[in-house]
Chain A
Amino acid sequence: MIVDILVGFFSAILAAMGVGGGGLLVVYLTVFKNVSQLTAQGINLIYFLPSASISVFSRRKKLFSDWKTVLVMCLTGTAASVAASLFVGHISAKILKVIFGALLVFAGVYQFAKSLKKSDAKESKEEKKRKMRLR
């Protein structure tokens, strides 16, 4: 039980940071707790809610400054998600998973390479120039 709590806690930290933990909880549940894939996904969905809610709430000011875009994204994303799961069903798409998995690996490597170029500065050079001009 202590392990459950620790795994839940650490994956929730990653979830709140927006990095998702790669479905660590799902892996833990299916591999170590013998939970079925579908139930593990369900538990993952429910457990995600407190963590994500708190994170979104703490970032509410930054999100609120662009609330129309965020709202539209939430609506389109949710509608697409529900439509896909109802009409397409969970295609036992091994091929789809492989293609998507490859896309993720590529995206991860690309993003990592991008991060190597990012500077440590809190502001970008353009921001600094703009502020200098305004003085």
Chain B
Amino acid sequence: MNGKTKALLSAGCAAVSGAINGMLGAGGGILLVVALDIIYGGENDSFKKAVSGTLAVTLCMSVAAAVIYLVKGNVKLSDAYIYLIPSALGGIAGAKILEKINAKWLCRIFSVLVVFAGARMIF
């Protein structure tokens, strides 16, 4: 797969992921990780690449969605205050783990949580 094809496919998958996120509120990121892993070739480092790419996209989508939620009044910023510092600290720890962890184990943790998330959606 050449670079242009990869870029186009990635953009398409991101759009689908975004649409799912917009409709259901969550879940698009999971399919995007799986799709990007396939596009990047399923190599040992491709899973981490897929995860990083998805995080970047999900971050952008979440900013947009958060703004919409705040403007619509579905949530107040003060509701989330208590979680902000733990989030930052967790982010630092998580980023370090992401760097060091074996891709195989990252994939397994991911898979288990995906099944859990899917089951929650069904029931």
Measured CB to CB, the nearest residue on chain A to B77 is A46
User: What's the minimum C-beta distance from B34 to chain A, rounded to whole angstroms?
Assistant: 5
Known contacts: A17-B94, A107-B31, A114-B42. The answer to whether A73 contacts B75 by CB under 8 A is: no
User: What's the minimum C-beta distance from B48 to chain A, rounded to whole angstroms?
Assistant: 8
Contacts of A16 in B (CB 8 A): 55, 90-95, 97-98
Q: Contact: B121 with A97, CB < 8 Å?
A: yes
Q: How far is it, in angstroms, between the C-alpha of A127 and the C-alpha of B49 when the chains are bound?
A: 16
Q: Contact: A14 with B86, CB < 8 Å?
A: no
Residue B1 interfacial (CB < 8 Å) = no
Count of inter-chain pairs, beta carbons less than 8 A? 365
Q: Contact: A13 with B65, CB < 8 Å?
A: no
User: What's the minimum C-beta distance from A57 to chain B, rounded to whole angstroms?
Assistant: 8
Q: Contact: B51 with A17, CB < 8 Å?
A: yes
Q: How far is it, in angstroms, between the C-alpha of A59 and the C-alpha of B105 when the chains are bound?
A: 19
Q: Contact: A77 with B14, CB < 8 Å?
A: yes
Q: How far is it, in angstroms, between the C-alpha of A53 and the C-alpha of B56 when the chains are bound?
A: 8
Q: How far is it, in angstroms, between the C-alpha of A46 and the C-alpha of B83 when the chains are bound?
A: 9
User: What's the minimum C-beta distance from A125 to chain B, rounded to whole angstroms?
Assistant: 10
User: What's the minimum C-beta distance from B121 to chain A, rounded to whole angstroms?
Assistant: 3
Q: Contact: A104 with B115, CB < 8 Å?
A: yes
Interface residues as binary, B88-113 with A (CB distance below 8 Å gives 1, 0 otherwise): 11111111111101111111111111
Measured CB to CB, the nearest residue on chain A to B110 is A19
Contacts of A80 in B (CB 8 A): 14-19, 22
User: What's the minimum C-beta distance from B97 to chain A, rounded to whole angstroms?
Assistant: 6
- Interface positions, chain A 106-123, Cβ under 8 Å from B, are 106-112, 114-115, 118-123
Q: Contact: A77 with B69, CB < 8 Å?
A: no
Q: How far is it, in angstroms, between the C-alpha of A59 and the C-alpha of B63 when the chains are bound?
A: 19
Query: Most B CB atoms within 10 A — which of A19, A82, A126?
Result: A19
- Contact among B48, B93, B94, B115 with A108 in the assembled complex (CB-CB below 8 Å): B115
Interface residues as binary, A52-86 with B (CB distance below 8 Å gives 1, 0 otherwise): 11111111001100101110111111111111111
Contacts of B51 in A (CB 8 A): 17-19
User: What's the minimum C-beta distance from B83 to chain A, rounded to whole angstroms?
Assistant: 4
Interface residues as binary, B41-68 with A (CB distance below 8 Å gives 1, 0 otherwise): 0111101110111111111111111101
Q: How far is it, in angstroms, between the C-alpha of A21 and the C-alpha of B117 when the chains are bound?
A: 8
Which A residues are within 8 Å of any B CB, using their own CB? 1, 4-6, 8-23, 25-27, 35, 38-39, 41-59, 62-63, 66, 68-70, 72-86, 88, 90-91, 93, 96-98, 100-112, 114-115, 118-124, 126-127
